[in-house]
Structure 1
Amino acid sequence: MSAGGYTSLFDDQAAAYSQFRPTYPQDLYDLVLEYAQLPQQQVCLDIATGQGQAAVELAKRFERVVAIEPNAKQLQHAVPAENITYREGSAEASGMPDASVDLVASAQACHWFELEPFWEEVRRILLPGGAFAVWGYDLVQVPGNAAATQVLWRMENVTLGPYWSDRRKLVSGHYRDCLPKDGMFADVKHVELGSPLSLTMQQIVGWVSTWSSYSTYKRHHPDGPDPLPAFQQELATALIGAQEDSSIKLNFPIFIILGKKLAK
C-alpha cells in the first residue's frame, strides 16, 4: 500500500477514534518546547491531526494551530477550539506559505508519509529558528504482568499481524528509519520517552478496535469471527480480578524525532 492510500483504513473507526485513542502526556509537550527554544510561539502546524488529540494541547501553547488531515471522516469528529483551524491537507503538500510556521508537529502518523517530500515540505514551511517534533508510540506493556503483555503482543503480531501495512515496521523501529537526511536540519535528535498510562479493559479493547490492522482484518472477514471478544476474555484472564471498568496501569513507550531549521 502506498502512503497515499492509507486514509481509507480509518474510515470505519472514525467515531471510535477520539473515544479510545490515548492522549499524550504533558511531559511530551514540555520536552518538545524545552528542546525547541522557539523565539516565538505563534503558529504551529499539526500534520495528520486525526481528530485533534495533539492539536488541542498544542493550542494551549501557541497563538494559532493549523491542523491538517487527509481523512474527511476524521475531521468530522475533530475537537473544536477557538485558535485551531482544521482542514484537509497532506503531509507532503500542506498548503502553508514558505517560512510561516514556528513548530511542525505530527503524532503517530509519520510512518504513512512519503518521507522525502514530507521532510522537504517541513523545511520549506518552517521559519528560520523553527523546529519540528514527530512522534509515535509502540505497543503498551503491563508492568509486572508478563501474561497480559503477551496477550497484547499476540493480538498485534499474531491475530492481526498479517493485516498491518508494511509501513508498520517503521513504528516497530521507533521511527529510526524516518529520520531526515543529514544536513537538512540542525541538531536532529531521536528521543525515547516512557510514560505511565492508565486505561480500563474496555478502553484497551476500544483502542485495538481503532487499529488499521483491525479494520483490514474486518474487510477480509466481513462475516466474522470478530477477534475482539476472544482478546478481551484472554486479557481478563491475564488480569486476574480486573473488571471492564478497572483502571489498569500501563507503560506507554513514546519515541520522538526532533530537529531545527537553522536561523539565518
Structure 2
Amino acid sequence: MGDGPSAHQEPGPAAGGGLGTRLNWLRAGVLGANDGIVSTAGLVVGVAGVTTSATTLLAAGLAGLLAGALSMASGEYVSVSTQRDSERAALAQERRELAEQPAAELAELTGLFEDRGLTPEVAREVAEQLTARDALTAHARVELGIDPEQIVNPWHAAWASCVSFTVGALLPLLAIVLPPASLRIPVTVVAVLCALLLTGWTGARLGDSPVRPSMLRNVLGGGLAMAVTYAAGSLLGAAGV
C-alpha cells in the first residue's frame, strides 16, 4: 500500500483510546466529587437548620460521607462489572467467528472501512494488513469499539468513585463544623458554591462543552439542594422535632 495514513494506523473508535480512557476517568472523578459536595452539603445544612451542635453536625456529615462513598463505590463496581462482562462476551464471540469463518470476517472488516469512506481497494488492503497483524484487535476496535488491552476494571472504578466522593464531601463537612456557630451556614454556602463553580468549569473543559452553562447548572443545583434541606430542617426545628 502507499504512504497514506491508513497504512500505518488502525482507524476506529478506540484509536487514541488511552487518552480517551484517562479523560473518562477524570470526568468520572469530577462527577463523583460534585456528587459528594452537593449531597453532603444538603445533608449538613439541613441538620444545621435543626441544631447548632457541632458534634451532631459532624456525626451526620460523617454518616452521609461514608454512606455516599460506599454507595458510589458499590454502584460503580456493579455497573462496570456488567460492562466488562459484556465486553468479554463480545470479544469471545468475535474470536469464535474469526476462527470459524475468517473469510467472512475479513469481508466484514473491509465493508466497515468502506463505510468510513475508503475505496474498496484501499479498504481491502487495510483490512488484510490489520488482520495479519492482529485480527481480533482490529475487529474489536473497528466493529465493536472495544480495545482488548483496555478492558475496564470494576475495582478501579469503585475506588475512583469512592475517593472522589469522599474528597468532595469533606469540603462541606469541614466548612460546617470548623467555623463559629453564627458563621457555619454562610461559610458552608460560599465554600460549596465556589467548589461547584470549579467542578462545573473542570467538567466542561474535560468534555469540551460550554463552560458558563455547566457552571451555572452546578451552582443552581447545589444552591437549590441546600435551600430546600435547610428549609426542611428549620421547619422540623421550629416544630420541636
TM range (shorter): under 0.3
Pick 1 or 2: higher relative contact order, CA cutoff 8 A, min separation 6.
2
TM-score, normalising length from structure 2?
0.22
Tell me which structure has the larger Cα radius of gyration: 2
TM-score, normalising length from structure 1?
0.21
Question: Which structure has the highest helix share of the two?
Answer: 2
